[in-house]
Amino acid sequence: MQAVIRSPRNAALCAPLTTGRHIGDCLVANIPLKDLIGTELRRAGFEIAEHKDASGRTVHLPLDHWIDVGALCMLARQDPGTCLYDSDGDLVAWKGCDKPDQCTKKIITEAPCFRISYPWEFIQLNEDVLEAINESNIEGDVSPLASVEGTLILGKGSKVLPGVVIEGTVVIGDNCKIGPNAYIRGNTSIGDNCVVGNAVEIKNSVIYHHTSIAHLSYVGDSIIGSHVYLGAGTVLSNRRHDGRHHRCSVNGELINTGREKLGAIIGDGVCTGVNTSVFPARKIGRGRTTRPGAIVERDMM
């Protein structure tokens, strides 16, 4: 079986994560999306080919789709000119044609598939990938005075200091310093060379490489880009008082995220002043800063 990973449809909608970054380089469980998809395809028996080498037996899938490999194997057994749709009617892959509108046959899968249209959907994908991990792998150092209740992937050179509590499935990269007295829970991934310091709580979030959340902060259901510095006391709120789904502004349109809890989406190189408070479902663009005591009520793109 052969597969070609095609360009995404509109990666700009995933800003600020895709500001200065290809969507294939966005992290899921500390792995670039394009590498994660390639690994899953190879495990299922696919050979990854270049677009120019595609043939009538090649399966084409857009990079911004997370597709059940069983559904792709089903598509690979079909005749050339077949399109695969998910149960919501969204096109997810096709076989044997350069463009999907050249297909003459349609099949539908009930298997879990979803399109990554907006940045918060990387939180869902991170949750799904981490939930499939059921065995710890600790290459760094964990203090005997730390508590790990769940599954921990800890990279080389990383240290988990006294008083740290880790619950759920957590992936921490290389050369990180966690703690003392930090609380990490939910399905959370933290990149290489990160600092999560004293009295910091990270819940169900994605943290990119070289980011520092050093003191007295809360990060819930959020995505934090690389080389970000959150000043002491920064709080990324994640819940509406009425418990309804969050809506997020994209190109001036309010989009229902389908999430009851959603914090901030923060681009690379952002620095927040001490005691910055960010409303739920807000985006802060690449390189932006806040002053001490700032309240971020609207997107800062």
Residues recognised as catalytic: 215
Angle formed at CA 201 by CA 199 and CA 202, multiple of 5 degrees: 145
User: What is the rounded CA–CA span in Å between residue 252 and residue 247?
Assistant: 12
In the chain, which residue ranges form alpha helices assigned H by DSSP? Answer: 33-43, 69-76, 121-131
Minimal CA–CA distance to 118: which of 266, 11, 251, 237? 11
Contacts of 74 (CB under 8 A, 6+ apart): 84, 107, 109
Place of tokens 């120019």: 52
- Dihedral sign for Cα atoms in the order 188, 191, 192, 197: negative
Residue 262 is which amino acid?
Answer: L
